[in-house]
């Protein structure tokens, strides 16, 4: 029997939430889980029966629906069926899994790579497998939730440093015992603010303090660097990251996560990380789609150029219209609104004009920093971006967000 006290606490939490959602729905401001019923082309989706320009996608290179990638997935279904035979270590490993891991290792300039069934599971299992309770982990305050959860699960001393403030990182590194094992973790591009971690400085600190360095490249694979290989290419610092993490669910239009790194570490993860040993292998169609996507990125470099140009156009255009876009340098562009209600209202107004963009409110971001979190991709046309910015600015004025 559950104790009545616990039951009360839980039902209070649930009721409080239900009330908050009810109020938002009543005001027509509830934008959670809106189903997309069809993809019209790489930058347009059908939502509530209306064709909308997509400005909330993580598919940075516009690869969802790419004919070569779709074909690869279909061929994998014909060859292997839709499922695997269980976990990788028993009967689940297919040759397409090994091929994918080789493709990733080549793309990332690493000795080898391991894949998991999601980016979330990757961070959770890898951090908690590599670290134990006598170790120290140093994590940027704005790191993704999956990193935070992995750090907590590891039982290591969990130290957070101020966002992209490497003087603060240095301070906390100096406070840790010199003899302890240390891991520094950061996102390459931060998913809410769009800014880039200061890789040169973080590498310098990692070396000075004999710490391992792990970087989560969810938003930099296919985005940063001339050939899209990510943050090391962006800074011209190939080979400086010990644990290169990424997801297969954003620029790569599939699902899954990976770690690229040296043989011994990856081999250890294959034998010791629980999400690998106790969870089924990636479905063959998804592994094949991911494998093909890495090749398409290298074969179609115009996509990266277009993405970079679109990002610049979007950031400078919003700024010149008077918006605060914080410190973004990438395709993730925060459009600062202020209070949560303003972000909800701006979302409603621009969606009514068929621009699909979503709000981010507290507690996901600080109170008073609610925003639209808009993204551009390589699939947007210059004139579509201009039009979207005009609409966002007109509605921003109407709501008093812009003067
Ligand atoms: C999306 C994301 C993840 C999780 O990846 P999934 O494949 O969606 O589970 C991890 N880290 C960062 C920074 C992300 O943005």
List the residue whose alpha carbon is closest to atom 10 of ligand 1. Answer: 119
pLDDT value at position 4? 61
pLDDT of 370 above 90: yes
- Domain span including residue 335: 28-57+301-398
- 383 and 324: one domain? yes
- 240 and 314: one domain? no
Pocket test for ligand 1, best of 60, 121, 139, 146 (most atoms within 8 A of CB): 146
Residue-averaged pLDDT of the chain: 95
Contact assessment for residue 198 and residue 229, using Cβ atoms and an 8 Å cutoff: no
Question: Looking at the domain assignment, is residue 18 inside a domain?
Answer: no
Q: How far is the CA of 225 from the centre of ligand 1 (A)?
A: 20
**Please, which pLDDT band fits residue 2 given cuts at 50, 70 and 90?**
low
pLDDT value at position 40? 87
Q: What CATH code is carried by the domain that includes residue 171?
A: 3.40.640.10
How far is C-alpha 251 from the chain's CA centre? 9
Question: Looking at the domain assignment, is residue 14 inside a domain?
Answer: no
Report how far residue 198's alpha carbon sits from residue 161's, in angstroms, rounded to the nearest whole number: 13
List the residue whose alpha carbon is closest to atom 6 of ligand 1. Answer: 119
Report how far residue 369's alpha carbon sits from residue 362's, in angstroms, rounded to the nearest whole number: 8
pLDDT of 130 above 60: yes
Report how far residue 258's alpha carbon sits from residue 214's, in angstroms, rounded to the nearest whole number: 12
Pocket test for ligand 1, best of 218, 244, 332 (most atoms within 8 A of CB): 218
pLDDT of 1 above 70: no
pLDDT value at position 42? 85
pLDDT value at position 3? 61
Q: What CATH code is carried by the domain that includes residue 35?
A: 3.90.1150.10
Q: How many domains does the chain have?
A: 2
- 214 and 132: one domain? yes
List the residue whose alpha carbon is closest to atom 5 of ligand 1. Answer: 119
**Looking at ligand 1, which atom is closest to the CA of residue 247?**
7
pLDDT of 278 above 70: yes
Of 252, 269, 299, the residue at which a domain comes to its end is 299
Question: Looking at the domain assignment, is residue 257 inside a domain?
Answer: yes
- 47 and 148: one domain? no
Residues flanking ligand 1, CB < 6 Å: 118-120, 123, 144, 146, 187, 191, 216, 218-219, 247, 249, 257
CB-count exposure of residue 311 (10 Å: 0-12, 13-18, 19+) = buried
The residues assigned a catalytic role are: 191, 219, 250
pLDDT value at position 150? 98
Pocket test for ligand 1, best of 122, 191, 293 (most atoms within 8 A of CB): 191
- Provide the percentage of residues in the chain whose pLDDT is more than 90: 87
**Looking at ligand 1, which atom is closest to the CA of residue 121?**
9
- 168 and 308: one domain? no
Q: How far is the CA of 218 from the centre of ligand 1 (A)?
A: 6
Of 271, 299, 327, the residue at which a domain comes to its end is 299
Q: Sheet containing 182-187: which strands, arranged edge to edge?
A: 112-116, 257-261, 243-247, 212-216, 182-187, 136-140, 157-161
- The pTM assigned to this predicted structure is 0.95
């Amino acid at each position: 029997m559950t104790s009545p006290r616990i039951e009360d606490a839980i039902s209070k939490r649930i009721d409080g939430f239900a009330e908050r959602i009810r109020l938002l729905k009543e005001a027509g401001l509830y934008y959670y889980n809106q189903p997309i019923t069809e993809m019209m082309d790489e930058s347009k989706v059908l939502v509530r029966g209306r064709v909308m320009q997509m400005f909330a996608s993580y598919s940075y290179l516009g690869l969802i629906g790419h004919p070569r990638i779709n074909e690869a997935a279909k061929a994998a279904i014909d060859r292997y069926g839709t499922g695997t035979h269980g976990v990788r270590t028993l009967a689940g490993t297919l040759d397409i899994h090994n091929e994918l891991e080789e493709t990733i290792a080549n793309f990332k300039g690493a000795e080898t790579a391991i894949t998991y069934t999601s980016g979330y599971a990757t961070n959770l299992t890898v951090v908690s497998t590599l670290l134990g309770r006598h170790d120290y982990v140093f994590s940027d305050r704005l790191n993704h939730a999956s990193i935070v959860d992995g750090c907590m699960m590891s039982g290591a001393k969990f130290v957070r440093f101020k966002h992209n403030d490497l003087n603060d990182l240095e301070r906390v590194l100096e406070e840790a015992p010199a003899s302890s094992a240390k891991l520094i973790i950061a996102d390459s591009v931060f998913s809410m603010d769009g800014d880039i971690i200061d890789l040169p400085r973080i590498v310098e600190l990692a070396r000075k303090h004999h710490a391992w360095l792990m970087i989560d490249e969810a938003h930099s694979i296919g985005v940063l660097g001339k050939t899209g290989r990510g943050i090391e290419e962006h800074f011209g610092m190939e080979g400086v990251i010990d644990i290169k993490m990424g997801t297969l669910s954003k620029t790569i239009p599939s699902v899954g996560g990976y770690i690229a790194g040296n043989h011994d570490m990856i081999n250890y993860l294959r034998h010791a990380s629980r999400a690998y040993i106790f969870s089924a292998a990636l479905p063959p169609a998804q592994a094949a789609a991911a494998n093909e996507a890495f090749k398409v990125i290298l074969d179609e470099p115009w996509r990266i150029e277009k993405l970079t140009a679109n990002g610049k156009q979007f950031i400078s255009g919003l700024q010149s219209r008077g918006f605060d876009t914080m410190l973004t340098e990438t395709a993730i562009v925060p459009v600062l609104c202020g209070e949560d209600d303003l972000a909800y209202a701006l979302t409603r107004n621009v969606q009514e004009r068929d621009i699909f963009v979503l709000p981010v409110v507290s507690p996901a971001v600080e109170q008073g920093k609610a925003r639209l979190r808009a993204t551009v991709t390589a699939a947007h046309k210059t004139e579509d971006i201009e039009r979207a910015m005009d609409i966002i600015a007109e509605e921003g004025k109407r709501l008093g967000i812009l003067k």
